[in-house]
Amino acid sequence: MEQSTTLLTILESLISEEDIQAIIDKHKYQEVARKFIVKALVHMFVMAAANEWKSFRHSADVATSYGLPAVNYSTFSKKASTVSYAIVKDVFQLLLSRMNRWMRRSFSFPKELLLIDSTTITVGKTRLPWAPYHGERAGIKLHVALSETTGIPHKVVETTGLKHDGPLMSEFVNPQFILVADRAYFKIERVDDYVKTEHPFVIRFKTNVELFHKKSLRRFPLENSNVVADYTCQLGTAQNRSRHRHRIVEFLDNEGHVIRVVTNLRHVPAETIAKIYRARWTIEVFFRWIKQNLNVPTLFGTTENAVYNQLFSALITYVLVKVFYENGKATCQRERLNFASFTKRLLQDQLPIEWRMATQSFLQKLATFNGIRLSKTG
């Protein structure tokens, strides 16, 4: 398999031309190009993310050496701006739905964790006049619900940079998961509603929230436990107080700072509650990885479509690599690879034989399951 086609072969094993056409039809997009069609746009952005190309011009200059069709940079730029980003976002969502069927699920918590957070990407304010941020900067946000078990997004919502995180929490409600979020997502009315609807959650809250009528819970101290308190109380002042009594767990982080979280998990040890919240670090690692390895901070275009088409294509790239890495890690025993090493070797077509065979086998299984005929991959 050539270096240039590995990632695209993986994508084609999951998303067929018919799938893309169905999405195009859904959005009533009229394809007028003969060569640089929507599929080619997605492929170009995926390869740009994987190989950290720097611009439309750079991408066009190197495209053919990576097995992509020749295209003028202005054609690439125009296509990125005229194709509704909702199309590429739907391709991303379809990929997620198919990959979730194949990801191995084993978790040590009462339910699977859904980690909620956002990341902001900023540029000079003249670059994105439709997305003002602070001072001389413009910015956009990706609000992400990440599965702690699989390490891939469950859902992504895009906004401009000034959009507050809290209101977006409603986008991620899913009782099949335990929602895990930082202070930006805390609201008394929200946690009251979660108790009422029995939606499991663990959310950190601000230190200035008043605690009313505290009552300690009986617990059996564990050796080396980082938990310092476990109690129930109402939250807020008399003017804005929670309707329900909530469980509060206080524990120490690695630097000795006290972290306070509110939860409705009543029959779970306090130490497990602390571990659930600490698992939120996984989404921080995810954001750092896509920014460092998929060229996410380098936005090629200036229009809303161009920006989000690039970002959702980068997320497609992440999911492709992550899923195949997790499959290989579970099946390959002779030579261990970390995620960064796997990514580099995959793109350079330098995977060890065992990993190459695992990747090929997984490709064929996915393609067969999705009714897609693969071209010869070598």
Mean pLDDT of the chain: 92
**CA–CA gap between residue 277 and residue 273 (Å, rounded):** 6
Contact between 148 and 285 (Cβ < 8 Å): no
**Dihedral in degrees, nearest 10, Cα atoms 361, 364, 369, 375:** 170
Burial tier of 198 (Cβ tally within 10 Å: 0-12, 13-18, 19+): exposed
With H, G, I as helix, E, B as strand and everything else as coil, classify residue 139.
strand
pLDDT tens-digit profile of 124-144?
Answer: 999 999 999 999 999 999 999
Question: In this structure, what DSSP letter does residue 185 have?
Answer: G
Bridge partners of 211?
Answer: 235
pLDDT tens-digit profile of 167-178?
Answer: 999 999 999 999
Burial tier of 28 (Cβ tally within 10 Å: 0-12, 13-18, 19+): exposed
Bridge partners of 232?
Answer: 215, 247
* Tokens matching residue 220: 């059996």
Spell out the SS3 assignment of 220-273. CCCCCCCEEEEEEEEEEECCEECCCCEEEEEEECCCCCEEEEEECCCCCCHHHH
| Side chain identity at residue 341, one-letter code | S
* Tokens matching residue 246: 């909530």
**CA–CA gap between residue 115 and residue 283 (Å, rounded):** 7
Bridge partners of 143?
Answer: 118, 157
**CA–CA gap between residue 272 and residue 190 (Å, rounded):** 22
Q: How many C-beta atoms lie closer than 10 Å to residue 294's C-beta?
A: 25
**CA–CA gap between residue 278 and residue 271 (Å, rounded):** 11
Q: How many C-beta atoms lie closer than 10 Å to residue 295's C-beta?
A: 20
Predicted TM-score (pTM) of the model is: 0.92
With H, G, I as helix, E, B as strand and everything else as coil, classify residue 296.
coil
Question: CA of 17: how far to CAs of 12, 22, 91, 364, in Å?
Answer: 8, 9, 11, 17
C-alpha count within 13 angstroms, C-beta hemisphere, residue 284: 8
Question: Along the 378 residues of the chain, how does pLDDT read in single tens digits?
Answer: 344 457 888 898 889 899 999 999 999 999 988 899 999 999 999 999 999 999 999 999 999 998 899 999 999 999 999 999 999 999 999 999 988 776 655 667 889 999 999 999 999 999 999 999 999 999 999 999 999 999 999 999 999 999 999 999 999 999 999 999 999 999 999 999 999 999 999 999 999 999 999 999 987 778 889 999 999 999 999 999 999 999 999 999 999 999 999 999 999 999 999 999 999 999 999 999 999 999 899 999 999 999 999 999 999 999 999 988 988 998 898 899 999 999 989 888 889 999 999 988 888 887 777 676 655 544
29: nearest Cα among 94, 74, 86, 76: 86
Contact between 36 and 79 (Cβ < 8 Å): yes
CA angle 373, 374, 378 (to 5 degrees): 155
* Tokens matching residue 343: 């990514």
Contact between 67 and 11 (Cβ < 8 Å): no
